[in-house]
Amino acid sequence: MDAMAEIRATFFEECAEQLADLEAGLLAIENGEADSDTVNAVFRAVHSIKGGAGAFSLDDLVHFAHVFETTLDEMRSGRLDSSEKVLKIMLRSADALADLVTVARDGGSADAERNAGLIDELKGLVALAKGEEPPAPKAAGASAPSDGPVYDDGMGDLDFTPVAVDLGDLMGIGGDNRFRIVFKPSPRMYAKANEANRVLRDVYTLGEAKVACNISEVPLLPAIDPEGAYLTFTIELSTAESEEKVREVFEFVEFDCDLTIEAVHDAPDGEIDADDPDIADILARIRATPDDEPLETPAKDEEEPKDAPEMREPEEPKATAAAPAARTPAPAPAAPAAAAKADAGGDGKGGAGGGAAQTIRVDLERVDRLIDLVGELVIHQVMLSQRAYQAGLARASDVAVGFDELEQLTREIQDSVMAIRAQPVKSVFQRLPRLVREVADISGKQVRLITEGEWTEVDKTVIERLADPLTHMIRNAIDHGLEKPADRLAAGKAEEGVVRVAAMHRSGRIVIEISDDGAGINRKRVKEIAIKKGLIPAEANLSDEEIDNLIFLPGFSTAEKISSLSGRGVGMDVVKRSIQALGGRVSIASKPGRGSTFTMSLPLTLAVLDGMIVSVGDQTVVVPLTAIIETLQPKASEVKSFGGDARLVQVRDTFMPLVDVARELGYSYELANATGGVAILVEAENGARSALLVDAIQGQRQVVIKSLEANYGRVPGIAAATILGDGRVALILDVDAVVATSRVEGNFFNSGMQHAAE
């Protein structure tokens, strides 16, 4: 059972990838960036989901995917234009498919009415492509055969049209029905990677069946067309199911075979030669083959012509054409070439359209272990060479050259290992278009989403936890940030609002900006609400920045009426908390009438950091190099006292706060003498500059970030720890936090923020 659960988990993991590919592909088509590979990739994604779903008997999913796939096939074959209207339906279908996958995984129920409606629309497109009249949309409930098609595992190009079944007649029959089915597959059916064997097996699941195979048409070996079809099956079926059910079995192959199904009301005649040893053999094998295992048995005798057409038709030379077969457990020995290509297609799930990279799935723990070990290796390598030099090793000696090479090698190993965990944020960004579509629909606003920097790499754990706060902030940007189309027009803006999501590396962290071109924060109202809710005193005199930051306070919500989107009682304070739990920060910048920008900055955990090693008191501290602008030695004339203990330092024409690091970290309680130390100019995430006062600069080095959280917990003002060449632990300064806390003291507003953050 466990093994099954694992396979299931893998299936859903793959589904997620396929859905991402699907959406990315559709969007590419929508933007006109598509080529034939894109369409194929989209098709393949849906097809793979269908195939997998079939194996788990997820009938609703299979059914929907099948209809969707059929429509996509029309597009693939060029019969259906990729017009805007078509793509809208496709995108919505992709969303519905994603929902069905979620339902299949987590339980719950899908929006059956919407799905049925979409199925109708998709079928309409197919009909349109074929130049037929689109069928009149049926009542939602009736149009979707609730049971869906029976087991299908990777059937390819199908022209699917709904089967008209007269339910009224069938309802009356019930009980023990007998049918005589004559099933003569055509070569086309095999060419589409369907297999008679499977269909027959499905018939067996319906009841008691006797199958007779007419092999009289099989020509002698020299005359055999390897891609031909020569067998006719006659099935005597005794079942409790209705004719409709029986037909469903043949649903996918109906147009690629000669099929007659007739109800037999008297006892079956003795036509079926079940005693025929060959038939018995086939039947035994059909029964013995487990559902999702490929038929390993090489084709023999009368099966040969049946299997041979599995090889793809010569007029489909592209590798992409093999993809539909990829998930099909094709009889490998019979078609080695096809199987090889199919494998290549199967691996293509990682990338939409071509460029199929080979990937493996590895347990994350193994990677982490490897990263830890390599980190150790680097530390020991550094320690070893330092000790060797201390012991008098000549810099020019062969050993020293060896050390240099070893160092390069270890660095390279480290880089490669780190790269294993790093993933582009694309996987999160891919989910955004759908979110934006949905939120835009509900809120009645027109929104264009622009994403930038989707290849920015960040650690996998960060990616996983990025999705929730990001989702919330985008919702917020659309619901609260953007104005209604009419208001936008009145303000002289384009009707369509723009939400921009950009990722980039900055200060050794990943920064994600979510900006909208809406109305900006209504500071007057924000302040009123904060006063009304008792979050700030009525007479508080706040800067614009401080007012903007009020929205992060717990208990603050600007929504006067709760909307179904943002007003779920989850405020920005929750977003802020979840980002902080990741060791990140969030800030806001807003311009009235021009929009707001939320910036969240998150650590690239496990990354290596370029740091400046400084002395603070008798401690060694690492300052991330990326935060540093310049260093200087302040002169006594440049340091000004500014009320109480606060000091400013003059750098050229500007004054900036001088932060005594030793004091902030609690290493010393007295103000350090500014002129004796070094001032490090840093820029915080919000662009504000400060000077950090330290005692001395020791040097610059790449350090491995070690988690303090793993064995201890978060330490204010400290981003992480590292181990220096001498084997001692040094702390890595969280520049922004140190600068921020230094400004806090005595300020009711910031201490309130501090309190809220804790």
Partner 1 sequence: MTTVSPPQNDNRNDPRSARELIAFCIGEQEFCVDIMSVREIRGWTTATPLPHAPSYVNGVINLRGAVLPIVDLAARLGFPRTVPTARSVIIVVRVEQQLFGLLVDAVSDILTITDDLLQPTPDLASDLAKTFVRGVMAIEGRMISLIATDNVLPPFQAAA
Nearer to partner 1, 229 or 708 (CB): 708
The reply on whether position 379 binds partner 1 by CB under 8 A is: yes
User: What is the chain's alpha carbon radius of gyration, rounded to the nearest angstrom?
Assistant: 34
Phi/psi class of residue 154: alpha, beta or left (left: φ > 0; alpha: ψ in -120 to 50)?
left
Nearer to partner 1, 275 or 758 (CB): 758
**Contact range with partner 1 by CB under 8 A, out of 137-145, 199-207, 490-498, 701-709:** 701-709
Nearer to partner 1, 504 or 574 (CB): 574
Nearer to partner 1, 379 or 526 (CB): 379
**Contact range with partner 1 by CB under 8 A, out of 287-295, 375-383, 525-533, 640-648:** 375-383
Q: How far is CA 673 from CA 632, 643, 659, 695, in A?
A: 14, 17, 12, 9
Nearer to partner 1, 255 or 667 (CB): 667
Stretch (H or E) spanning 30: helix 2-30
**Contact range with partner 1 by CB under 8 A, out of 243-251, 314-322, 644-652, 709-717:** 709-717
Q: Which of residues 592-631 bind partner 1 (CB under 8 A)?
A: 619-620
Nearer to partner 1, 281 or 372 (CB): 372
Closest CB 757 distance from partner 1, rounded Å: 10
The reply on whether position 376 binds partner 1 by CB under 8 A is: yes
Closest CB 725 distance from partner 1, rounded Å: 11
- Among the listed residues 709, 743, 750, 756, the single contact to partner 1 using CB under 8 A: 709
Closest CB 372 distance from partner 1, rounded Å: 6
- Among the listed residues 716, 744, 750, 754, the single contact to partner 1 using CB under 8 A: 716
The reply on whether position 729 binds partner 1 by CB under 8 A is: yes
- The H-assigned helical ranges of 596-725 are 661-664
The reply on whether position 511 binds partner 1 by CB under 8 A is: no
Closest CB 749 distance from partner 1, rounded Å: 21
* Own/partner long-range contacts of 534-540 (Cβ < 8 Å, ≥24 apart): 535/752, 536/749, 536/752, 537/748, 540/748, 540/749
Nearer to partner 1, 121 or 734 (CB): 734
- Among the listed residues 77, 146, 641, 707, the single contact to partner 1 using CB under 8 A: 707
**Contact range with partner 1 by CB under 8 A, out of 258-266, 346-354, 424-432, 729-737:** 729-737
Given a contact cutoff of 8 angstroms between Cβ atoms, the answer to whether 197 and 286 are in contact is: yes
Q: How many CB atoms lie within 10 A of CB 53?
A: 27
The reply on whether position 156 binds partner 1 by CB under 8 A is: no
The Cα 353–Cα 554 span in angstroms is: 46
- Report the alpha-carbon angle 440-431-573, nearest 5: 75
Closest CB 618 distance from partner 1, rounded Å: 9
Closest CB 698 distance from partner 1, rounded Å: 15
Residue 66: CA count within 13 A, CB half-sphere: 28
- Among the listed residues 369, 448, 591, 728, the single contact to partner 1 using CB under 8 A: 728
The Cα 372–Cα 606 span in angstroms is: 9
Closest CB 381 distance from partner 1, rounded Å: 13
Nearer to partner 1, 353 or 375 (CB): 375
**Contact range with partner 1 by CB under 8 A, out of 318-326, 455-463, 467-475, 705-713:** 705-713
- Among the listed residues 24, 119, 674, 731, the single contact to partner 1 using CB under 8 A: 731
Closest CB 573 distance from partner 1, rounded Å: 15
The Cα 518–Cα 722 span in angstroms is: 43
Nearer to partner 1, 128 or 574 (CB): 574
Q: Which of residues 101-130 bind partner 1 (CB under 8 A)?
A: none
Q: Which of residues 213-252 bind partner 1 (CB under 8 A)?
A: none
The reply on whether position 152 binds partner 1 by CB under 8 A is: no
Rounded (10°) CA dihedral 528, 532, 534, 537:
50
Going by the DSSP 8-state scheme, the letter that residue 477 receives in this structure is: I
Sign of the CA dihedral 191, 197, 198, 202? positive
- Report the alpha-carbon angle 639-644-647, nearest 5: 20
Nearer to partner 1, 485 or 725 (CB): 725
Contact pattern for partner 1 over residues 563 through 582, marking x by CB under 8 A? -----------------xx-
Nearer to partner 1, 303 or 734 (CB): 734
Going by the DSSP 8-state scheme, the letter that residue 706 receives in this structure is: B
The reply on whether position 255 binds partner 1 by CB under 8 A is: no
- Among the listed residues 723, 735, 739, 753, the single contact to partner 1 using CB under 8 A: 723
The backbone torsions φ and ψ at residue 99, rounded to the nearest 5 degrees and listed phi first, read -60, -45
Contact pattern for partner 1 over residues 656 through 675, marking x by CB under 8 A? --------xxxx--------
Q: How many CB atoms lie within 10 A of CB 161?
A: 15
The Cα 120–Cα 141 span in angstroms is: 11
The Cα 106–Cα 629 span in angstroms is: 50
Q: Which of 503, 510, 494 minimizes the C-alpha distance to 450? A: 503
- Among the listed residues 721, 735, 740, 753, the single contact to partner 1 using CB under 8 A: 721
Closest CB 754 distance from partner 1, rounded Å: 12
Lateral strand order in the sheet of 689-694: 628-632, 678-683, 689-694, 654-660, 647-651, 639-641
Tokens 């020299």 sit on residue: 222
The reply on whether position 736 binds partner 1 by CB under 8 A is: no
Which residues touch 361 (CB under 8 Å, ≥6 apart)?
Answer: 10
The reply on whether position 159 binds partner 1 by CB under 8 A is: no
The tokens of 189 are what? 């059916």
Closest CB 668 distance from partner 1, rounded Å: 11
**Contact range with partner 1 by CB under 8 A, out of 472-480, 508-516, 601-609, 708-716:** 708-716
- Among the listed residues 327, 341, 647, 706, the single contact to partner 1 using CB under 8 A: 706
Q: Which of 139, 70, 67, 124 minimizes the C-alpha distance to 96? A: 67
The Cα 44–Cα 38 span in angstroms is: 10
The tokens of 66 are what? 């099948």
For the chain, the farthest-separated pair of C-alpha atoms sits apart, in whole angstroms, at 113
- Among the listed residues 708, 719, 740, 753, the single contact to partner 1 using CB under 8 A: 708
The Cα 155–Cα 251 span in angstroms is: 11
Nearer to partner 1, 49 or 733 (CB): 733
Closest CB 465 distance from partner 1, rounded Å: 13
- Among the listed residues 727, 745, 751, 755, the single contact to partner 1 using CB under 8 A: 727
Closest CB 712 distance from partner 1, rounded Å: 4
Nearer to partner 1, 565 or 757 (CB): 757
- Among the listed residues 175, 392, 532, 712, the single contact to partner 1 using CB under 8 A: 712
Q: What residues are paired with 177 via a beta bridge?
A: 239
Return the SS3 of 733: strand
Given a contact cutoff of 8 angstroms between Cβ atoms, the answer to whether 720 and 707 are in contact is: yes
Tokens 């005589």 sit on residue: 180
Q: How far is CA 397 from CA 381, 383, 402, in A?
A: 17, 18, 9
**Binding-site size, partner 1 (CB under 8 A):** 33
Q: Which of residues 403-442 bind partner 1 (CB under 8 A)?
A: none
Residues lying near partner 1 in the complex (CB under 8 A) are found at 372, 375-376, 379, 580-581, 619-620, 664-667, 706-718, 721, 723, 727-731, 758
